[in-house]
């Protein structure tokens, strides 16, 4: 038995030696060295970009108007990933898990705008504002937002232009809508659009945010499918912390593609006024 084992170890060592010799000869070939020198910089650049998007920041394109007026249709938003730690959702092209676990980082704060994997469709990224964290009680009453039994202050802030999302009969059209400034319990303020006060999501049950989840809503309150709707009605309910990709930080570019007849018209529809606009 020991003799057989010795033979097998000897064969394994010989295979390792032959592999080293073959590898040395392969890498010593001038053609291989030339090809490697030509390819190493692009490979390094791709590896650097992938590492950066996986660990530091990643741009996301916003195709709908659910976060107007904070984020416009056609905005490209830089999302940082180190704020809340990391999960599988942080990795580009990886399906986000139905998990509450994250590696390091802090819990999102109420008022943060986050990009996350949709719980019912993990391959789809969405962007919304965090309205509730674990333990919070969220409810809509007559179109007003209540958190932990208190109605949030809502001040008139003039009016805005609400652009209709692509795909509908009014795609790209702008309509005047009332704009308000909402103050969250932690003092953070943000704008919202509000069309009416008796819509299907203007009166809801009390949602108690479970551990390991957040409750999110769109700033365009009457044109947002969010945590107010369960998956049975087309929404997605609470968002697991493990599904969060990162925090939306900055608009790096914006094209009103809904009003362009083709990609050749995109330069004419570029919104220079939105470049480097901070997401708050």
- Residues 96-125 pLDDT 10s: 445 566 777 789 999 999 999 999 888 899
Number of domains the chain is built from: 2
Q: Which domain holds residue 139?
A: 57-278
Mean pLDDT of 11-39: 60
Mean pLDDT of 186-203: 96
Question: Cα separation of 31 and 228, whole Å?
Answer: 62
49 and 67, same structural domain?
Answer: no
113 and 18, same structural domain?
Answer: no
What percent of the chain has a predicted confidence (pLDDT) above 90?
Answer: 59
232 and 98, same structural domain?
Answer: yes
Residue 128 among the catalytic residues:
yes
Question: Cα separation of 248 and 231, whole Å?
Answer: 24
Question: Cα separation of 190 and 182, whole Å?
Answer: 6
**Residue 43 pLDDT > 50, yes or no?**
no
Residue 66 among the catalytic residues:
yes
- For residue 88, name the pLDDT band (cuts at 50, 70, 90): confident
What is the distance between the terminal CA atoms of the chain, rounded to a whole angstrom?
72
- More confident: 73 or 171: 73
Which position among 81, 128, 194, 247 bears the catalytic label? 128
pLDDT at position 19 = 56
**Residue 7 pLDDT > 90, yes or no?**
no
Q: Which two tokens stand for residue 41?
A: 């910089």
pLDDT at position 3 = 46
Rounded to 5, what percent of the chain is helix, strand, coil?
25, 35, 40
Question: Cα separation of 178 and 197, whole Å?
Answer: 12
194 and 81, same structural domain?
Answer: yes
pLDDT at position 12 = 57
108 and 34, same structural domain?
Answer: no
103 and 47, same structural domain?
Answer: no
Question: Cα separation of 140 and 122, whole Å?
Answer: 27
Which position among 66, 87, 224, 227 bears the catalytic label? 66
């Amino acid at each position: 038995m020991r003799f057989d084992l010795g033979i097998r170890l000897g064969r394994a060592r010989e295979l390792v030696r032959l592999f080293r010799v073959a590898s040395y000869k392969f890498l010593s070939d001038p053609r291989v060295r030339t090809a490697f020198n030509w390819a190493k910089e692009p490979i390094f650049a791709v590896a650097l970009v992938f590492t950066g998007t996986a660990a530091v920041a990643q741009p996301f394109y916003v195709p709908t108007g659910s976060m107007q007026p904070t984020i416009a249709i056609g905005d490209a938003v830089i999302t940082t990933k180190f704020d809340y730690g990391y999960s599988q959702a942080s990795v580009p092209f990886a399906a986000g898990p139905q998990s509450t676990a994250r590696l390091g980082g802090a819990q999102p704060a109420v008022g943060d705008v986050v990009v996350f994997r949709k719980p019912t469709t993990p391959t789809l990224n969405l962007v919304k504002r965090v309205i509730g964290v674990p333990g919070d009680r969220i409810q809509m009453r007559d179109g007003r937002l209540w958190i932990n039994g208190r109605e949030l202050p809502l001040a008139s802030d003039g009016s805005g232009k609400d652009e209709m999302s692509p795909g509908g009969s009014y795609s790209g059209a702008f309509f005047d809508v009332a704009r308000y400034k909402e103050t969250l319990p932690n003092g953070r303020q943000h704008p919202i659009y509000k069309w009416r006060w008796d819509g299907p999501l203007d009166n809801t049950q009390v949602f108690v945010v479970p551990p390991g989840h957040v409750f999110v809503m769109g700033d365009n309150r009457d044109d947002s499918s969010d945590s107010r709707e369960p998956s049975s009605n087309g929404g997605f309910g609470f968002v697991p912390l493990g599904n969060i990709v990162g925090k939306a930080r900055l608009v790096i570019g914006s094209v009103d593609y809904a009003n362009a007849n083709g990609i050749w018209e995109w330069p004419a529809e570029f919104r220079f006024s939105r470049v480097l606009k901070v997401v708050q």
